[in-house]
Structure 1
Amino acid sequence: AAGDCREGAIAQVAAATGEGVLASYGIRNYLK
């Protein structure tokens, strides 16, 4: 269970990071 929880947290962090990268690219393109 602890391993599943850790993998889930890593997946959530990876997803949040991906969204943040996409958002930063979108903001940069929007400001151009």
Structure 2
Amino acid sequence: MTRIHRLLGRTIVLVTHDIDEALRLAEHLVLDGSR
């Protein structure tokens, strides 16, 4: 997903109804966002 975001240069919105998946993704995005 990160590679696609960089390639397109656009904001990506991901919708999930699975709270565990949402928390895993949020944790990854916060850690990845510190670059």
Q: With the length of structure 2 as denominator, give the TM-score of the two structures.
A: 0.48
Q: Which runs of 5+ in 1 are unaligned?
A: 1-8
User: Percent identical across equivalent pairs?
Assistant: 5
Structure 2 spans left out of the alignment, 5+ residues: 1-16
Greater helix share, structure number: 1
Runs of 4+ in 1 over 3 A off after TM superposition: none
Q: Which TM-score applies when normalising by structure 1? A: 0.52
Q: How many residues align?
A: 19
For the aligned residues, what is the CA RMSD? 1.2
The structure with the larger Rg is 1
